[in-house]
Structure 1
Amino acid sequence: MALVIKNGTIFVNGHLEQGDLLINHGLISTIGHNLTADQVIDATDKLVSPGLIDLHVHYRDPGQTAKENVQTGSLAAAHGGFTTVGAMPNVVPVPNDADLMTQMVTNNKANGVVHILQYGPITINETTDALPDYAALKKAGCFALSNDGHGVQDAQTMYLAMQKAKANDLIIAEHAQDDSLFNLGVINEGEKAKAWSLRPITELAETTQIARDLLLAQKTGVHYHLCHVSTATSVELVRWAKKQGIHVTCEVTPHHLLLNEQDIMSNNGNYKMNPPLRRPEDQAALIGGLLDGTIDLIATDHAPHTKQDKSGGFAKAAFGITGSETVFSQLYTHFVRTNIFTLEQLLNWLTLKPAQAFELKNTGRIGLNQPADLAIFDLKNASVINETNYQSKGKNTPFTGQTVYGQTELTMVNGQIVYQKKGN
């Protein structure tokens, strides 16, 4: 049955235009005006966007499903307007071989309501120096490699991994962290660490490993993707690397754009994430890096935990913050409505740029004969971020209770509605 989305403000070919979308058999068949179909979705005064892409989520499935699973994680993504996500491999067991990878890919397809791309580990179990069979992982459905949650500690191991990844045309997505410098820290090295007598995290834990990895990437020619950049020095290193022609891409999280360590008003575990919230100068550098193209895209690092996991303040709480369900409305409210970003820029960083960075096909844009992976957002009316509306098992975010614009009205994957706001 044909479906038409009418009278929306459509983000197409990098700009906004008024019009209708006609969808047949899961594909966009016509972009125009005065289109008709058996089923009509009225998008008057609404934004119609390509489905958002999040290249960094944690679904905890298998092994940690009290925190999240593929179904709840993908429902959370759909609630946020995402139609394609990249799921990290720090699960139990880690998908170290083709059989485990096949099981994860099968589970993603069976229980996910959005497209889930599956990462494999850079090293076996993410914490060893042994490399898995990248060719076998890729054949089983692995789309990129990451040890997210752990940095690759040994330089020779990373050098060999990059060589092997390059040979298999796989991206290395690195969580840059030197454990010897991280030193079991829990909060950024700054005023809050001193005030609450907490173990500090120096920025050197991130920046020294980035510097190492960029030189290794230059030598090997691998596509090196830097996860959740958080410091001004890190941005400068990536800027330098791009000028040298090193094949590097880079992401920033919404929480590092929205918050800095001065926003932490109490010893509250919901503000504990890795990398930590940094200085105001770092936050400003991240915003600047997005605007000048040094940082390629925004990714949430959606990291759900149980309430027990996040209790006990910074000293005891697990690292991580949820992000799938609040990112667009938060960034639209705080950056687009204040004229720091344009709406077109924000949409590009959440759609076309991640698709381009990871060379994803048939996603990230609205076009004829493209899959109808779409999101509709209400930019006009304010709403309150309410915990009862979360689809994720994880409620660990400090953004609950904030008033925002840009809430998701509807999300569609291959022409099928996978999320619709109640009352629509």
Structure 2
Amino acid sequence: IMGRQIHVALGVAIDPAHGVIPAEFPVLHGLNPILAIPSSLTHFNLYPTIIGMVSILIMIVWPMLTMVAKFVPAPLVAAIVGVILGIAFNLGRLDPKLLLDLPEGGLLGGFTSPDFSKIFTGGSIRWIIAYVFVASLESLLTAAAIDKLDPYKRRSNMNREFLGKGAGNLLSSLVGGLPMIAEVVRSSANIFNGAKTRWSNFFHGVFMLLFVGLLPGALEMIPLAALAGILVVVGFRLAHPRQFVHALHIGKEELLFMLATTIIVVAEDLLVGVVSGVLIGLVTAVVRGTPLGNLFRPAMEVSEDTSTGTIVVKFRRALGFGNFVGVRGQLDKIPPGKAVVLDFGECHFVDHTVVERLEDWEAEYVREGGRVERRGLDHLRHATHQPVSALVKSA
């Protein structure tokens, strides 16, 4: 996000079809947007740069004005100030490409009829599969990330998420619309600005529809640099350096996963990056002694003590992110309000992801009136001083 948007905030187009781009980076793909930043800094466009920097400053300072920021979100202020500066600098005459551009003909002008004649061609099938996997994966990752940001610690219903996206994409495609996904920038921006329910997303869509349908001219007055400044700050918050420091505190392996995934996502794309991160994690699990048959299938047993009604969950071998889906499935079958014992006596390794997810499940179960106790941890220790770091065998 930051790597591409910083160029727009500086008034340097990153699309070869839309003007100036750094000559040494004719195609800004992969790591090139980041490598091209020094060149853009030396070729910046003065007025858009001023607007972009003011937008960034507003995004940083405005939330500190707690009484005002509670009612007027920083992105709205940045957009309005951007419009005012754009008018003052006469950006529309200087270069219309520096302003937001909507399709000709307004809202209805963007509608097109689908061409089903090519649906079974190789190129079409390839893109259909790519969109299915990328959109599904990004929606899942976004939902998981937003669950962590949710101040109420609620869990997204992934089945409903998929159903909603599928229905929405079907309708969108029938009028020539782009695929829809759960998007981490907009979702996190909602939370950062006080959103608490799904209504925030609903009203976001309603207001966009109203503006595009009724006030397209107002939207086309917004400088791209102002929007880019907003995205730069939101992107920085999502990839704040303290996130990497936190990963290091959890363990060197976690930092390795994070760095590798981040670099590959930027260099290639989201799908390749996540798959690479998963493969690195699986290889690490095998190196730590996880049997191949245990990578995706947990070795666990759930039983009930008939005399006390206590549910005993006995884990064996290793627990990792690859087999946690099975673990969570078994835990979710436990009736609410029970006394549950998690027994790790025959387990030799529990990775960070499972430690964290088990804590989440335990907190949810206790909130619903249950009790959870952990046993058999004497032979295990945390890999670092962090309480959510991996559990490994004591030396």
Q: Tell me the TM-score range normalised by the shorter chain.
A: under 0.3
Larger relative contact order (C-alpha < 8 A, sep ≥ 6)? 1
Q: More helix by proportion, 1 or 2? A: 2
TM-score computed with the length of structure 2 as normaliser: 0.25
Q: More strand by proportion, 1 or 2? A: 1
TM-score computed with the length of structure 1 as normaliser: 0.23
